[in-house]
């Protein structure tokens, strides 16, 4: 399974989301590769992804992907990240 965390620049926020996704996956007992990406390269990075997590502001830019695009309201809220993963995997 491949999951892509997307933010505007792909440097800070998506890396923090990536870390929180990895922690949540470990807690859920799910094995997956997680990648951080900026919005400009996200469509290519998500080309073979199973799931994309991003902000509400960027979700519309990712429309048309072959995988679900899930909005995370607070990238730093571990409970929300766990819930979003549980609901979409």
pLDDT, tens digit (0-9, with 9 covering 90-100), for 27-47: 999 999 999 988 888 877 777
Domain covering 2-82, topology: Rossmann fold (3.40.50)
Compute φ and ψ for 68, nearest 5 degrees: -65, 140
For range 10-17, the mean pLDDT: 80
Q: Which of 7, 51, 52, 69 is catalytic?
A: 7
Neighbours of 50 (CB within 10 A): 16
Neighbours of 80 (CB within 10 A): 15
Domain ranges within the chain, ordered by starting residue: 2-82
Residue 68 DSSP symbol: -
Roughly how many angstroms between the first and final C-alpha of the chain, as a whole number?
9
Q: What is the pLDDT of residue 7?
A: 81
Q: Is residue 7 annotated as a catalytic residue, yes or no? A: yes
Greatest pairwise CA separation for the chain in angstroms: 31
Query: What is the value of pTM for the model shown?
Result: 0.89
């Amino acid at each position: 399974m491949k999951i892509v965390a997307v933010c505007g620049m792909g440097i800070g926020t998506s890396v923090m989301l990536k870390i929180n996704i990895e922690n949540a996956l470990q807690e859920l007992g799910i094995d997956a590769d997680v990648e951080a990406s900026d919005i400009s390269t996200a469509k290519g990075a998500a080309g073979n992804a199973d799931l994309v997590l991003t902000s509400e502001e960027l979700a519309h830019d990712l429309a048309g992907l072959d995988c679900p695009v899930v909005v995370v309201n607070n990238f730093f809220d571990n409970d929300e990240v766990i819930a979003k993963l549980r609901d979409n995997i």
